[in-house]
Amino acid sequence: MPGLLLGDVFPDFEADSTVGRISLHAFLGNSCRTLIPQRCWGILFSHPRDYTPVCTTELGRAAKLSAEFSKRDVKMIALSLDSVEDHLGWSKDILAYNNDSSCNALPFPIIADNKRELAVKLGMLDPDERDKDGMPLTARCVFVIGPDKRLKLSILYPATTGRNFDELLRVIDSLQLTAQKRVATPVDWKPGDNVMVVPNLSDDEAASLFPSGVTTKDLPSGKKYLRYTPQP
């Protein structure tokens, strides 16, 4: 992602989508579950093309998990290198893949980027994967955007590798927890597991902040930096 680093304000843009013309910041900043703009997070995930197999499975999984993202006040939006008309037709295939006859639309919009303007601007193109005309496809990008419209996480997959949306929920749980509490989440952490006290907290501060207690792992170095506490 040339020029876009963690903590940067995520670029605003206007684009056509399956729900009409949208502005990204305005879309992310309203109508989340709590109706409190300051709590709305966003996740933007890109796709190489419509009517492709891996993308269909990913959007199907995203649709099934939409309620989980909503519970976390996260608004979902996808992007693919085709037209709105193609997106609407493809959505029917995705719902059929999910065996979902209860609705006729996906629970999130898909941005049309058939001119590849956003894919270029946001550094999404995969130089190793090309379409039948030799044009680079978009990689499978994931951008998690905080309520302050700043980039909190980015993951870049090649076009040939599908994403794990359960993992995306896990990292969002970590991002939201660590944004509010002075903790970090260790390897393979899941909600409800113990968390780690951040290094810049003294032992006295940690004891005050975490009344459930802090345990320290003894190490050969004698340094007391592996400090755990129940998830606050």
Number of neighbouring beta carbons within 10 Å of residue 187 = 4
The 10 Å Cβ neighbour count of residue 219 is 10
Query: Which stretch of DSSP H or E encloses residue 54?
Result: helix 53-64
List beta partners, residue 229. 195
Helix axis angle for 84-97 and 53-64, nearest 10°, is: 70
Active centre residues (catalytic):
55
For residues 91, 96, 99, 104, the Cα torsion angle rounded to the nearest 10 degrees is 50
- Report yes or no: 112 and 20 within 8 Å, Cβ to Cβ: no
What gap in Å lies between CA 13 and CA 24, rounded to an integer?
Answer: 6
DSSP symbol at 139: P
CB 149 within 8 A of CB 25: yes
Whole-angstrom distance, CA of residue 178 vs CA of residue 74: 16
